[in-house]
A = this chain, B = another copy of it.
Amino acid sequence: MAIRPAEQLIHKAAWLYYAHGLRQDQVASQLKISRASVAMYLRKARETGIVNISTSTQLFTDDVLARQLEDAFKLDAVWIAPENGHVADPSTDIAVLAASVFLELIKKGDRIGVAWGRTIYTIADIMSYADLQDVTVVQLCGNLGAPYSYRPDQCTMEIARRLNAKGLNFYAPLVLTTEELARGLRAEPVIREQLSGISECNLALYSVGTVDADSHVVKCGALTASEMEVLRRAGAAGVIAGQIIDAQGKALDCSYNRRIISAELSSLRKIEKRLVVVQEDSKFGPLVAAIAGGLCTHLVVGARMARRLLDHAGPAAEKVA
């Protein structure tokens, strides 16, 4: 694409149209180009984040349910996507909301940690573009040759691209065959640096994974279904950034966890804002575990899940609200 003149024009067109409130034909005559070109420039401006259109997510926190959840689980903020069933795809709703919330939480100069999963990739995919300065997106865990499109590095890169931010990938596999190898790799300067940099993030985005045969880690071949079954018996309750956690949200003491290259849970907890997004109802257990482990400060869920969480918190908590 033409480098400079086009950029200039896009900026000017966007400026006249959105800031000054001129009509497209007025912009066209001012810039001495056709209106059709103006329309095209404006689309580009929106696509590249030169103009930002954001809608307040206030509505979704105003919900009584959201407040109750914040109280019951001591969370900083909760957003609840309504599931009236009137929207074509209810899970998209959650992702759209999550994308807005995510964008709203980002500030200039932020360092953002991103995990992976279908949910995260969906968010990345529908997220609008922005032109943040000085933002860095770091990958929270090693890579996995997933059979799907949502590999960890892709999640990171796509989000970085949308934000016009710098993307820092992890050039290591998520899981290795031996504990020794994992230890050795973690000690590598490049890897060590990235791992220690994670706690310097001020915003993290992740979902949780289930610990059954349908789990992503199983589907991607990091574990076999039977290995997972064993872990589940041993107390596995969920997956966060490729790591198995127990019902208390602590890393499960198992060989698998020692063989992975991923953010330490303690590093994650040091991140100021930990945004957890959950779409599927089946992730109830894992989510509860993550919350118990203090891995979540900001939460985006559907209404059904929200009610279930509140029920789980017990009648005592409900009385408070």
Contacts and interface: CB of A to CB of B under 8 A. Distances in A.
Interface residues of A, number: 30
A23 to B, nearest CB: 14
Given A30-B86, A86-B30, A107-B107, A100 B19 contact: yes
A96 interface: yes
A45 interface: yes
Contact of A56 (B93, B97, B107, B131): B131
A50 B56 CA distance: 5
Interface in A48-82: 49-56, 58-59
A3 to B, nearest CB: 14
A319 interface: no
Contacts of A99: 19
Interface in A7-62: 8, 11-12, 14-15, 18-20, 30, 45, 49-56, 58-59
Contacts of A107: 107
Interface in A137-154: none
Interface in A97-127: 97, 99-100, 107
A19 B131 contact: no
Interface in A194-221: none
A51 B53 contact: yes
Contact of A55 (B50, B54, B56): B50
A58 B131 contact: yes
A19 B52 contact: no
Contacts of A56: 11, 14, 49-52, 131
A99 B15 CA distance: 12
B131 A53 contact: no
A55 B30 CA distance: 18
Contacts of A133: 58
11 contacts: A8-B59, A11-B56, A12-B59, A18-B54, A19-B100, A20-B96, A50-B56, A52-B52, A52-B55, A56-B131, A58-B133
